[in-house]
Amino acid sequence: MEKSVPETKTKLKVRPESPLQKYVREFLEYCEIERNKSELTIVSYAHLLKRFVNYCAEVGVNKPEQITLDTTRNYRLWLNRYRDGSGHGLKQATQNYHVIAVRAFLKYLIKRDVVTLAPEKIELAKNPARQISVMNSDELKRMFAATAQEPNETSRLRDIAILKTLFSSGVRISELMSLRQDSINMKSGEFTVRGKGDKLRLAFLSADTLAALAAYLKKRTDNDPALFLSVSRGNSVTAAIEGQSKPVSRHKAAGLTARSVQRIVNKYAKLAGIMKPVSPHSLRHQFATDLLQNGADIRSVQTMLGHASITTTQIYTHITNEGLREVHKKFHNKK
């Protein structure tokens, strides 16, 4: 018989590998080999399922056949009541990520003909609608103009190229960091992005973004293939070969890390006097809302963002319904 739900303040104990832990390990190997999931996805599954397995051990559930609907319900109750050392709980979206991981694991067990709870019996909690904050056109222009305050010419040219690439293409920061000089077709303004789920999609750059990139690349004197470099380090392929600097990961672009890009975006937002939080992902939001406000259909925007579900893209629609205000003003209470 399953034990009662453990107190959330009690740290879950790590025990020797149980049958359930063995299956989780095999599931992670399956994700790596058969499903070719990204390293980030596998690490995330490992973290989320470790918490589930440790919870199960605390309530006396160590085998797949012992997992019941009550097990998962009580686990979700435990997640909802969980508090860390600072007294903070888990957001609803984070709780849902835990449940999604459990469902994926159960689906794998069913596929292997292991007796366990049917994953479709577990329903996800409804997330509250996401509210996103975007800049208006004046704030965006001021942010671009703020790059003129950077005294180092190479940094200035690189930074405006980064800001315009983020806004013009809507790429994620990880996708930006993986770009190489030969990724961009400077004539057509197109490039291919490998996004989430290892899916490829086509991205586009405006004429002024291409001009900004051309000016930045013309200023560079190195031979590093990465599109964006850390100006201070100035790594190059030749230097790496000669042992003067370390070879660079394709995701770190010669020292220009994702954190560096975040600092660059934040720097110019502050210089532009923008009080709301602004990040590289904010420019992705800006890209989507700009397209929708100018008449683009939501399906096309979904494709350009690389969203698997249109539901994800629909978070932008409440921002783009500016025309509704005019309809209300024109027709409301006119009698």
Assigned token pair, 9: 């303040």
Beta-carbon contacts of 319 under 8 Å, excluding residues fewer than 6 positions away, are 132, 134, 289, 292, 293
284 belongs to the catalytic site = yes
pLDDT value at 277 more than 80: yes
Residue 201 has pLDDT above 90, yes or no: yes
Q: Is 172 a catalytic residue?
A: yes
Overall CATH class of domain 137-321: mainly alpha
- Choose the weakest-confidence range: 99-103, 207-211, 245-249: 245-249
- CA-based nearest residue to 284, from 147, 132, 142: 132
Q: Which of 6-15, 46-55, 83-92 is most confident? A: 46-55
Name the catalytic one among 45, 172, 216, 268.
172
**pLDDT band of 14, cuts 50, 70, 90:** low
Among the listed residues 76, 158, 285, 307, the single catalytic one is: 307
Contact (Cβ atoms closer than 8 angstroms) between residue 119 and residue 44:
no
Which tokens sit at 230? Answer: 């850390």
307 a catalytic residue: yes
Given the residues 23, 45, 108, 316, the one annotated as active site: 316
Q: Which of 25, 142, 220, 281 is catalytic?
A: 281
Q: Is pLDDT at 241 greater than 60 in this prediction? A: no
Domain made up of 19-121: CATH architecture: Orthogonal Bundle (1.10)
Q: Which two tokens mark 14?
A: 């790590």
Q: What is the pLDDT of residue 28?
A: 97
Question: Is 281 annotated in the active site?
Answer: yes
Residue intervals of the chain classified under CATH 1.10.443.10 are: 137-321
Domain with CATH 1.10.150.130 in the chain: 19-121
pLDDT (mean) for 302-319: 85
Can you give the three-state secondary structure of 130-159, one letter per residue? Answer: CCCCCCCHHHHHHHHHHHHHCCCHHHHHHH
pLDDT tens digits, 97-149: 999 999 999 999 999 999 999 999 999 887 666 677 789 889 999 999 999 99
Of the ranges 3-17, 54-68, 73-87, 218-232, which one carries the lowest mean pLDDT score? 3-17
Of 27-41, 193-207, 283-297, 306-320, the poorest mean pLDDT is in 306-320
Which is catalytic among the residues 142, 196, 220, 267? 196
CA distances from 309 to 138, 265, 299, 319 (A): 31, 28, 10, 19
Query: 190: which DSSP letter?
Result: E
**pLDDT average, residue stretch 184-197:** 91
What average pLDDT does the segment 217-239 reach? 75
pLDDT score of 271 more than 50? yes
Assess contact for 189 and 207: CB atoms under 8 A: yes
In percent, the amount of the chain with pLDDT more than 90 equals 65
Residue of 156, 164, 284, 285 marked active site: 284
The pLDDT assigned to 124 comes to 87
Please provide the average confidence, as pLDDT, over all residues in the chain: 86
Residue 278's Cα: distance from chain center in Å?
15
- How much is the average pLDDT of 280-305? 92
Is 70 exceeded by the pLDDT of residue 10?
A: no
